[in-house]
Amino acid sequence: MRVLVTGACGMLGSEVCRALENSHTVVPTDMVGECERLNIAQAGSVFDLISRVRPQMVIHCAAMTDVDGCEREPDMAYKINAVGSWNLACACASINCPIAGVSTDYVFDGEKEEPYTEFDTPNPLGVYGASKLAGELAISQLCRKHYIVRTSWLFAPHHKNFALSILNAAETRSELKVVSDQVGSPTYAKDLAEFLVSLVGSPLFGTYHFTNSGSCSWFEFAQAILNAAGKTEVNVVPIASEDWPTPTKRPKNSVLRHYKMEPLGQDNARPWQSTLDEFIAAL
């Protein structure tokens, strides 16, 4: 199938393009980089490209992902995450093309004691989560053939992410302070990319949660990354969220249960710990 990818030069988008290339025709798009130029915030450009390429599926990875940046620039966040998704949903609907929109654990407020299912009610704490939720709603209301895939704590051996930041910081520091009272599921971008590609051609539209299995705090994640890299001499110190002030309040619990995939027998996500050797080897 001909699959158009937005945000194709980003962390997840580049993995999606790689996962597609053996079995599908990929049309990578982004603002910059070696791909078809597309600013999703411009409706005219989105409609022109979709009607010219006539994709059979769109995997929508483009977003403003700087969580604190969204808090500082809410107009920009809504223009990209909400209006951009709205433009794509309308353009896809106009040619009856399915769209898979990637969304986030930050649509939840983190107050639930157990993992969140796809049927729990979102209540974002900040602009990033709220703008992504507005994007989810645009896609689900405007394009009948849609998948929303919520994920969390993405990491890869490339692009800016927590795992690489920890390894970089460990190059110059012997002690790292890391928040220990926020719990989530680290997710290897390559595994999510493979899940997104598995949706191509599926008639099972709707909202999904996909993460690697298991959960931990950022502190535990940092410890595991350093252990996997053999940097055991670095001391990781647990701290409370209030001792790491940021413009955005983050959910304390953002573990996502894969409720939709359980009855399908398709919940094959590997534990996050078992992705770390592959991550380190790929550096």
Ligand X SMILES: NC(=O)c1ccc[n+]([C@@H]2O[C@H](COP(=O)([O-])OP(=O)(O)OC[C@H]3O[C@@H](n4cnc5c(N)ncnc54)[C@H](OP(=O)(O)O)[C@@H]3O)[C@@H](O)[C@H]2O)c1
84 binds ligand X (CB under 6 A): yes
**Ordered alpha helix ranges (H), 54-161:** 67-72, 74-77, 84-94, 127-142
Active site residue 128: yes
Residue 256 in tokens: 């996502």
Among 78, 116, 128, 208, which one carries the catalytic annotation? Answer: 128
Residue from the set 18, 112, 159, 252 that interacts with ligand X by CB under 6 A: 159
151 binds ligand X (CB under 6 A): yes
Taking CB under 6 A as the binding criterion, the range among 56-64, 107-115, 136-144, 231-239 that sits at the site for ligand X is 56-64
Provide the token pair at 161: 């992410």
Near ligand X by CB under 6 A: residue from 154, 166, 196, 236: 154
CB closer to ligand X, 51 vs 235: 51
For residue 228, what are the CA distances in angstroms to 33, 66, 243? 32, 27, 27
The distance of Cα 232 from the centroid of its chain, to the nearest Å, equals: 29
Cβ 10 to ligand X, closest distance in Å?
A: 2
- Does 140 interact with ligand X (rule: CB under 6 A)? no
Residue with tokens 């106009």: 94
Could you give the 3-state DSSP secondary structure of residue 146? strand
The minimum distance between CB 143 and ligand X, in angstroms, equals 16
- Determine the interface stretch with ligand X among 36-44, 115-123, 202-210, 238-246 (rule: CB under 6 A): 36-44
Q: Which is nearer to ligand X, 80 or 236 (CB)?
A: 80
Residues 6+ apart with CB under 8 A from 227: none
User: Among residues 80, 91, 134, 269, which is the contact residue for ligand X, using CB under 6 A?
Assistant: 80
* Rounded CA separation 92/54 (Å): 9
Catalytic residues: 128
